[in-house]
Amino acid sequence: MAVEYNCILIRFGEIFLKGDNRKYFESLLIKNINDALKGIKYTFVRSQGRYYIEKYLPEDKDEIISRLTKVFGIHSVSPTVKVPTDIEELGKVAAEIAPKSGKFRVTVKRADKRLGMTSTEFAASIGGKLLKASGGKLKVDLFDYDFELFVDIRENGYSYLFYDKIMGAQGLPTGCSGNGMLLLSGGIDSPVAGYVMAKRGIRLFAIHFHSFPYTSELALQKVKDLAKKLTAYCGEIKLFVVPFTEIQYAIHDKCPEEFMITIMRRFMMRIAERIARANNCGAIITGESLGQVASQTMQSIIVTNSVVTLPVYRPLIGSDKSEIIDIANKIDTFEISIRPYEDCCTVFLPKNPVIKPKLSDAEEFESRLDVDALIEKAVAETAEEIITPGQE
């Protein structure tokens, strides 16, 4: 009977550096792992510096690995064969799962120091059994090898044999750095910004400004689909959909055309802050990249920031478009973002938007509007929806 990979080894990354706070970070990571694997039968096992997924159905192995590699805080995973720590059994299993030809090396890590052999002696013994079983088709080469067999001998009386180390999302466990409100448009940049901040432990909330009937239900669905992609990495997201058409009408009627985008952005930031504070978010997150468009110049950002007191995280501020697109492709949001449905920022787009706005000018033009009333109405009419992983 062929040997089956009966266990998945999980390694975590930066948590090792957290000292006395490590338990807090680990508890969050374990919760996020269990959340990510909802709907799958398995057993979670914890050991020193390791987690294991066991007693799952063989047909679920690939799905489990796929989900785990998207959980922030996981450094890497490996499908493994778990066996009792016995040198004869280790050699037998190694011979069954190894490629039948080529150059190899064996690397042993030994957490159980009570055994009568050193790590080097274990590696030599297992390597010898591989050579014997191959009938001369395998050769040892410690430096220029085709494959490497890893043997992890743990303190629980079991050893884990594996070849693959599949990289995870890395970063910090979602939630350890607080909550953030992501301005989620239908474009390429904002979902990438959300991903980058979630990787640093931010739990994402999202807000979208919808200009019905100028932006269609398909445009709104695009935003929901982008949020759904992000949930694979950071868990469920509460999405706030703000009706923005009335505010755009008011700005268009009473403010200079070239200031349209600037004043719109100031309204967005005010509304985002109101909803962020109501949901215990400690920051606003945007996908702005310095100089990419007129509303993302240094002067525009200063004018936009002036209406809020929450910190505004702009993780892409120094990134160029190709770098952002690379991440969008990695997290599978790019094809959704380029669907040809306009968002609210393109509805009343001026021909020549101001590039270096002055704060005094923006404040003067806004004085023509009943800012508080417009914001109150928009917030009151905001719709909420929970986007969950795997949701159709």
Nearest to 238 by CA among 289, 187, 179: 179
Look at residue 342 and tell me if it is in a domain. Answer: yes
CB atoms inside a 10 Å sphere around CB 155: 13
Q: Are residues 220 and 364 in the same domain?
A: yes
Q: Are residues 338 and 192 in the same domain?
A: yes
Look up the domain containing 68 and give its range: 7-167
Look at residue 83 and tell me if it is in a domain. Answer: yes
Partners of residue 132 on adjacent β-strands: none
User: What is residue 392's predicted lDDT score, i.e. its pLDDT?
Assistant: 44
Judged by phi (left if over 0) then psi (alpha if -120 to 50, else beta), residue 280 lies in: left
CA dist., res. 171 & res. 199, Å (int): 5
Q: Are residues 248 and 158 in the same domain?
A: no
The residue whose two tokens read 């009938």 is: 135
Structural domain count, the chain: 2
Q: Are residues 223 and 120 in the same domain?
A: no
User: What is residue 347's predicted lDDT score, i.e. its pLDDT?
Assistant: 57
* Residues 305/357, Cβ–Cβ less than 8 Å: no
CATH number at residue 128: 3.30.2130.30
Residues 6+ apart with CB under 8 A from 159: 82, 83, 84, 85, 90, 151, 152, 153
* Residues 159/125, Cβ–Cβ less than 8 Å: no
Query: DSSP label at 200?
Result: B
User: What is residue 35's predicted lDDT score, i.e. its pLDDT?
Assistant: 94
pTM (predicted TM-score): 0.89
Look at residue 172 and tell me if it is in a domain. Answer: no
Q: Are residues 61 and 93 in the same domain?
A: yes
Last residue in a domain, options 145, 167, 189: 167
User: What is residue 15's predicted lDDT score, i.e. its pLDDT?
Assistant: 75
Look at residue 392 and tell me if it is in a domain. Answer: no
Q: Are residues 59 and 27 in the same domain?
A: yes
User: What is residue 346's predicted lDDT score, i.e. its pLDDT?
Assistant: 57
**Phi, psi of 242, deg, nearest 5:** -100, 125
Residues 6+ apart with CB under 8 A from 82: 6, 7, 52, 54, 158, 159, 160
Q: CA-CA distances (angstroms) from residue 96 to 133, 324, 325, 373?
A: 9, 44, 43, 72
CATH number at residue 243: 3.40.50.620
Q: Are residues 44 and 188 in the same domain?
A: no
Nearest to 208 by CA among 231, 226, 233: 226
Q: How many angstroms from the chain centroid is the CA of residue 156? A: 33
Q: Are residues 279 and 150 in the same domain?
A: no
Tokens of 251: 């700005």
Q: Are residues 227 and 105 in the same domain?
A: no
Tokens of 218: 């398909």
Look at residue 365 and tell me if it is in a domain. Answer: yes
Residues 6+ apart with CB under 8 A from 107: 123, 148, 149, 150, 151
Q: Are residues 183 and 163 in the same domain?
A: no
Q: Are residues 136 and 231 in the same domain?
A: no
Last residue in a domain, options 136, 167, 198: 167
Look at residue 173 and tell me if it is in a domain. Answer: no
* Residues 353/295, Cβ–Cβ less than 8 Å: yes
Last residue in a domain, options 167, 187, 209: 167
User: What is residue 49's predicted lDDT score, i.e. its pLDDT?
Assistant: 76
β-bridge pairing 74-84 and 7-12: antiparallel
Look at residue 80 and tell me if it is in a domain. Answer: yes
Look at residue 2 and tell me if it is in a domain. Answer: no
Q: Mean pLDDT in each 10-residue stretch from start to end of the chain (392 residues)?
A: 85 76 90 95 89 95 96 95 91 89 93 83 92 90 94 89 93 95 95 97 96 84 96 95 94 92 95 98 96 82 96 96 96 93 64 88 95 97 94 45
CA dist., res. 173 & res. 13, Å (int): 10
Q: Are residues 16 and 152 in the same domain?
A: yes
